[in-house]
Chain A
Amino acid sequence: MTALLRRSDSANPGMRQGHLDSVALFSTGWKKFGLLLGLAIYLLGPLMLSDFQLSVIDYAGIAAIGAIGLNVLTGYTGQISLGHGFFLGAGAFTAAYFGGNLDLPLPLWLAAAAVVGALIGLVIGPFALRLKGSYLAIITLGLVFLGQHIFENWKSVTGGLSGRAVTAPVKLGPVDFANLDIGGKEFSREGGYFYLIWAVVALVALLVKNLMRTRLGRAFQAVRDRDAAAEVIGVRLARTKVMSFVVSSSLAAVAGALYGSFQRFVNPEEFGLFLSIEFVAMIVIGGAATIYGPVLGALFITAVPFLIEEWSDRIPGVATEAGETGITVFALNQALFGLLIIGFLVLEPRGLAALWARIKVYFLAWPFSY
């Protein structure tokens, strides 16, 4: 076969370049520009934004890590999960235990969370992923309630119903992100965490991007697009879906660990169904099966409640003080997320990222006009 194929080697120089193009990550001018812009925001953000704004963006970064994780399972592998919140909880309590009780350093409690998330995913995946579609949604929903039960009763680790403090150290060598000091310039806790959290976001995005352009990640996408065809070309369906679940759970747990550490206190209640639904909303609104979609979704979903809070006295019918009549900010959030999910599913199933993708496809497809 090689001999024959070699003959046509010089036939199409375009393809020659094309296949290596897709090996380079930031191949186009726009992507390079985006990278530089991102870097500038990363470096300057904590110098220019208020602590309140930084804390919103910190929470959004944590959410982005979890959303990228859910997107591996849902966007890239086509498997729905309502259990994502549970894995955030598992990560948060792992950080609380390994970082707090055992006083392990930052890289170790983060890694411990990743490993615990992966292991739980590995144990549960084979049972859950036998099912498809709404059955999978229901069984992962069960996971949330099972998790709540465990979190509320495993008191020595989770603190039970009343929750627990998270005192995991956030030092990396001489750098303490909770008290960041660069050459005499002191940063707030929010500013320090901003650097830590968004560095992790960037790292996770890069790792997932690489995963998706290599063997396993391609197999995820094959399973999503056509599972029967994937199987006859040699993709082991069960194993592949479980691997996707493992990656997804592991990233959720990393997000949970950072969440606990940033918030300094966690409570089992936080890791219920609503959190899972927020993550589904993030990837629906942001756009599945891209790397930046879930990040956009996370920024959006995290910022909305704060914006509502900020403007609540100007929105009619919202109760801002206890005792006032009207719906609460929390209830308004829930209703709004519901509406957003439905709205995006109906009007733009591919989310915020889709507009850009559609423009791109249009130009790539030229001169075919469909």
Chain B
Amino acid sequence: MLLETVNLTKKFGGLTAVDDVSFSVEKGKINAIIGPNGAGKSTFFNLVSGYYPPTSGQVFFKGEEITRLPSNKIARLGIARTFQTTNLFERATVLDNIIVGNRLRTQSNLWDAILRTPRLKREEQKCLDKAYEVLDFVNLTNHAHSVVENLTQEEKKRVAFALALATEPELVFLDEPAAGVNPDETEGLAELMKKMVDHGITVCLIEHKMQMIMSIAENIMVLNFGKKIAEGTPEDIMNDEEVIKAYLGGERHAEVK
């Protein structure tokens, strides 16, 4: 158990986007969160990654409480994330986007910059090496000098992965990594996630593509209207009545696919 939430709740005014959710991310596995649109999945990510504080409840990482830590500190502990909409710097090259990803593992400060100290030079080299390493990992080395806005959607997703990996995380949260990507490419991204796990990085993703989830995830949580309605292996989930109801539409959810 790498990360654990206890009774996590987030209210936006009258709306409870995440409602009393207790969930554990299992180490060394691909974990997934599914649920209809607006179920609170992204909000859940935002809570565990410190993007905003929960209304109540707690988050633990490796047994240590991280509930109200700011997101930059959480990143330093080894949790990385991607956003639902990739917000890379479109007008810069892939490499320029990635290099700063390892900044959190460096020490050099303003004085190092002004005085051009050996430490700065060493760390700059380290960031560059790291950038090439993660680009190699996601198979984008040949695009290192391409400008991001000229890449395909799938390539951008890979860049976002690479940036997350450059922070040297133990756990990555991926928000809809395969959205807007065609089936063949989805396959490739799924492979990439498996590769991360093989390299000792735990993955937790949000996805709407059921087929993909069912084939790669080992531990799934289902959210609906902010509440956890099921948790378990793909088989458990596929046979869960409440999940079927939420997805296939009881009376209230008819409009959700």
Tell me whether A and B are bound partners. no
